[in-house]
Amino acid sequence: MPQPYITILAQPDDGCYPYQALTMEGARIVQVARHRTLEALAEWCAAQTYPIYVQDDTLRDYLHQHGIAVSPNPLPSA
C-alpha cells in the first residue's frame, strides 16, 4: 500500500473554495478538503500527519511562514 500524502491545489478563480487539499494514496484521491481562505488551509495543514506537497511557490512560502513543513515535489520519492 502506498504511503499517503497530501497535495495542495490553489485555484484563485474558484470564488467559493480556492484552496483544495487532496489526500492521496498513490494515484488515488481518498479525501478532498476545500478551504475558503489561506488561514483555514494553514490551520488544516498544521493538524495533518502526512507529507504535504505544494507546487505553487507563493503558497509554499506562506505555509512555511506558518511553521508547516511542505515540499515542492509533486509526489513523494519512492
Q: Which domain, by its residues, includes 45? A: 4-65
Residue 74 forms part of a structural domain: no
In a domain, 72, yes or no: no
In a domain, 73, yes or no: no
Measure the CA angle with vertex 40, ends 38 and 44; round to 5°. 115
Domain contains 76: no
The structure's pTM equals 0.84
The count of domains in the chain is 1
Grid cell in block for residue 49? 500527519
Residue with the three cell numbers 490553489: 10
**Residue 44 covered by a domain:** yes
**How would you write the pLDDT of the chain (78 residues) with one tens digit per residue?**
788 999 998 886 667 889 999 999 988 999 999 999 999 999 999 999 999 999 889 999 999 999 999 998 765 554
